[in-house]
Amino acid sequence: MSPQLSQFRRVVLKVGSALLVDRARGRLNHAWLAALAEDIADLHAQGADVLVVSSGAIAMGRTVLGLPSGPLRLEESQAAAAVGQIALARTWSEVLAHHGITAGQILVTLSDTEQRRRYLNARATTLKLLEMRAVPVINENDTVATSEIRYGDNDRLAARVATMIGADLLVLFSDIDGLYTAPPASDPNAEHIPVVERITPAIEAMAGGAASELSRGGMRTKIEAGKIATSGGTHMIIADGRTKNPLKRVAEGGRCTWFLTPSNPATARKTWIAGALEPRGTLIVDEGAARALQSGASLLPVGVRRIEGSFHRGDAVTIRSEARVLGRGLVAYDAEDAARIIGRPSREIEGILGYPGRTEMVHRDDMALSD
């Protein structure tokens, strides 16, 4: 049995260029977007955190600049993105403001989710916006991204963002209502698959190629996104976004494909911290801090007695008392700055370092304790 949309508390929606932009006229589909904003407002009103990964900047910008159809050179794409990002951000701000919701734009490149230092910054900013009940609207920073530093499609970007912020559901809106055993446009015997419990080689073999010049993604990239999302503890849906109120349609049981994960975001993240990252140093804490950590607290500078090793902000470190290893975590300071603030209350950090750093040396969400 498929899950229900109402049970998820943090949802990422990926909206592609082909849905946002009318291909024939090169204009925004205003009525469709207004209907999606209604869906977002309904989900938001139920208490869920909602984040949007939106394509469309290049598609909108090329129309404004009068660029011809067909492939663009890199500098043309970047120029189109520079113009289109302004229009796209304004549009999302306006349609969400109609429902009393604040939008915040975040532009990212691949390194923002692959380099741990920048990953922590992007994650902290996004989570603060969600905490303040804003809807972050994220797009790849196409004005500066080159082929070496880009995701290449917003399906994978959306999956990376979903796992970064601990979303429990990712919805990929597409021009098809889910995964089929074969491309339905070319195979009349293709069967719809409502639930994928695990992405196997057989599931991957069912994916076709890209279908639109406005979109870089196809079913293949959606399956890749599914692998990223489900391994990070996030369920995923591929749903038809062409109808008005597409999220409402999913909530009412409309046909789509669910990709299920056996984990959850918190467990998957802690597993990654505990096993996949090589510690670059050690934080030795006092017994008071050790007890606080076991009770679910973050590690504050005041509880750290000394540090060992040379590490940078975002690196994994071992956390231990004098007697035993307590676990691992992602540290919020370089070793040099960490050494200056250990044993001191968090309110003194700015006076010591000259900038307002994080309150925590290691936040509890960035920590995996040993059993």
- Provide the annotated binding site: 14, 55, 142, 154, 174-175
**Binding region for substrate:** 55, 142, 154
The answer to whether the beta carbons of residues 207 and 220 sit under 8 Å apart is yes
The answer to whether the beta carbons of residues 289 and 283 sit under 8 Å apart is no
CB atoms within 10 A of CB 79: 19
CB atoms within 10 A of CB 20: 26
Which residues, in sequence order, are CB contacts of 54 under 8 Å at separation 6+?
14, 15, 20, 88, 92, 137, 138, 139, 154
E-state strands within the chain: 10-15, 21-22, 27-28, 49-54, 103-108, 135-140, 169-174, 179-180, 192-193, 195-196, 235-240, 256-259, 281-285, 304-309, 316-320, 325-330, 367-369
- What whole-number distance in Å separates Cα of residue 154 and Cα of residue 132? 25
**Binding region for ATP:** 14, 174-175
The answer to whether the beta carbons of residues 294 and 333 sit under 8 Å apart is no
Tokens of 293: 């950590």
Q: How many residues does the chain have?
A: 371
